[in-house]
Amino acid sequence: MTSAQREPVIGCLPPAWLCEMEGGKDVRVESAPYSCSTCDGGEVPARNLTRRNRKVRSLSTSSASTSFEYRRTQSLHGPSPVTTFGPKACMLQNPHAVMHIQDPASQRLTWNKPPKSVLVIKKIRDASLLQPFKELCRFLTEVKSMIVYVEKKVLEDPAISGDENFAAVTKKFCTFREDLDDISNRVDFIICLGGDGTLLYASSLFQESVPPVMSFHLGSLGFLTPFKFENYQSQVNQIIEGNAAIVLRSRLKVRVLKENWEKKSRVDEKGIILTNGDIESSRKAMQYQVLNEVVVDRGPSSYLSNVDLFLDGHLITTVQGDGVIVSTPTGSTAYAVAAGASMIHPNVPAIMITPICPHSLSFRPIVVPAGVELKVLANLPKNITITTSCFPVPSICFRDPVNDWFESLAQCLHWNVRKKQNYLSSEDEEF
């Protein structure tokens, strides 16, 4: 399948919720099943989708009395551009081009059914989170009458299992074990207590559709956790009522093909090795959904690494240095920014490629479209293929995607913090 045939969808919605856009009149449309080739061609079941009537604008120029109309639509990720250029030119229509740019302020959470279950993720063995965890779980079970899922290893903490006053609440929990129990179709939304790592962990638990995630800032940095725990009851109530903005944090679909070499020996009936045998190879493919980044580096080796980068089957460059970072817009403020990359808003559909200590003064980080397929070949028996996943992480915002992001830049990274320049006085201007 060529790059023009791929469907770079990054907004397949979980079954329990929809992404609503503000303005206009609601029109309920029953959609037919469709196939998402980005996710291995699996068929996505039909869902009720909310669409809105759009207004038609009329534009006129001062040099001509004629006017024309165009339709400004808002789709999964923003205003669709006009595809006619001048009087005779236009863009070749591609039915598989389904990725668009959406105004971040228009993304709102709504429920097609009232949420009944919630997954609470807590940082393991953190004593400072015990009291918030217990308060939240009491509120969810006793006040909101919700089904609460908690990972089994969280309840193995002696501070929780040994608390007799909390025993009545823990009996109501539904427990699960990582990598063993599938809860993807049981959880309506997720609440994270901790730092940014809790959101990354929540993403790893769901390798396909991810429920909406509400993250409370109870960790160190808190770049991805916009909520304060002091007002958790009113904030959780707003989420249950569907009154919240969301940001769709795109993930990377990473496929690692590893080639194993094994030496087979020939043995006779008495167990005596006759020959050293032949070397046989086998391949093992593993697939991951990644929220932050994929890093290919030199590891413990002291030698320069050579990593070949292919984009849609074409070799674009060879990274000579300590390695390369392939990150999402969410991951652009993590390892990538420390390696000199720019920071990208999570609503921008893109993939960032950042070299790690390149042995070249001209090798700068680059941003490529989200719909491309990257292939990474290193001096290892591994082949890594990276594309944008069609299963984003719907992160619930405190205000909206734009304000939350710039607030995190200012509060967590102290972006552009500088003592303000003094104004020149009239006396200074004379000199």
Only one residue has tokens 């025993």, namely 167
pLDDT of residue 60: 34
Res 23 pLDDT > 50: no
pLDDT of residue 41: 43
pLDDT of residue 64: 39
Among residues 231, 228, 218, 223, which one has the least CA distance to residue 247? 223
How distant, in Å, are the alpha carbons of 48, 107, 111, 275 from that of 19? 11, 6, 9, 64
Say how far apart CA 34 and CA 300 lie, in whole Å: 46
pLDDT of residue 180: 78
CA-derived radius of gyration, the chain: 26
pLDDT of residue 378: 84
pLDDT of residue 19: 53
pLDDT band for 182, please (50, 70, 90 cuts): confident
Say how far apart CA 383 and CA 385 lie, in whole Å: 7
Say how far apart CA 336 and CA 343 lie, in whole Å: 8
Under DSSP, the state recorded for 11 is: -
pLDDT of residue 213: 94
Lookup: tokens for 379: 């001096």
Res 343 pLDDT > 80: yes
For the residues 293-315, what does the mean pLDDT come to?
92
Angle at 111 between CA 105 and CA 112, to 5 degrees: 130
pLDDT of residue 273: 60
pLDDT of residue 103: 65
pLDDT of residue 12: 45
The full DSSP string for 147-167 is EEEEEHHHHTSHHHHT-GGGH
Say how far apart CA 92 and CA 79 lie, in whole Å: 19
For the residues 187-216, what does the mean pLDDT come to?
93
Which residues does residue 356 pair with via DSSP β-bridges, in sequence order?
A: 323
For the residues 206-218, what does the mean pLDDT come to?
92
Q: Are strands 189-194 and 117-122 parallel, antiparallel or unpaired?
A: parallel
Say how far apart CA 235 and CA 401 lie, in whole Å: 17
Is residue 189 within 8 Å of residue 115, measured between CB atoms?
A: yes
pLDDT of residue 119: 95
Res 32 pLDDT > 80: no
For the residues 93-100, what does the mean pLDDT come to?
58
Between residues 24 and 264, the one the model is more confident about: 264
What's the whole-model pTM score?
A: 0.74
Between residues 295 and 91, the one the model is more confident about: 295
pLDDT of residue 98: 52
Res 235 pLDDT > 70: yes
Only one residue has tokens 């390149």, namely 358
Res 72 pLDDT > 50: no
- 136 — alpha (psi -120 to 50), left (phi > 0) or beta? alpha
Residues 6+ apart with CB under 8 A from 355: 319, 321, 323, 324, 325, 339, 363, 365
Is residue 225 within 8 Å of residue 195, measured between CB atoms?
A: yes
pLDDT of residue 58: 33
For the residues 175-191, what does the mean pLDDT come to?
86
pLDDT of residue 31: 35
Say how far apart CA 99 and CA 11 lie, in whole Å: 9
Say how far apart CA 39 and CA 387 lie, in whole Å: 10
Res 212 pLDDT > 70: yes
Write down the mean pLDDT value for the chain.
78
Is residue 34 within 8 Å of residue 401, measured between CB atoms?
A: no
For the residues 391-410, what does the mean pLDDT come to?
91
Is residue 351 within 8 Å of residue 372, measured between CB atoms?
A: yes
pLDDT of residue 352: 97
**What percent of the chain lies above the pLDDT cut of 90?**
45
Res 61 pLDDT > 60: no
pLDDT band for 226, please (50, 70, 90 cuts): very high
Is residue 373 within 8 Å of residue 385, measured between CB atoms?
A: yes
pLDDT of residue 178: 78
pLDDT band for 270, please (50, 70, 90 cuts): low
pLDDT band for 14, please (50, 70, 90 cuts): very low
- 380 — alpha (psi -120 to 50), left (phi > 0) or beta? beta
For the residues 348-373, what does the mean pLDDT come to?
94
Res 28 pLDDT > 50: no
pLDDT of residue 39: 43
pLDDT of residue 112: 86
pLDDT of residue 18: 55
Among residues 196, 278, 297, 308, the one annotated as catalytic is: 196
Give catalytic status of residue 196 as yes or no.
Answer: yes
Q: How many other CB atoms are there within 10 angstroms of residue 275's CB atom?
A: 9
For the residues 22-40, what does the mean pLDDT come to?
39
Q: Are strands 108-111 and 174-176 parallel, antiparallel or unpaired?
A: unpaired
Under DSSP, the state recorded for 83 is: -
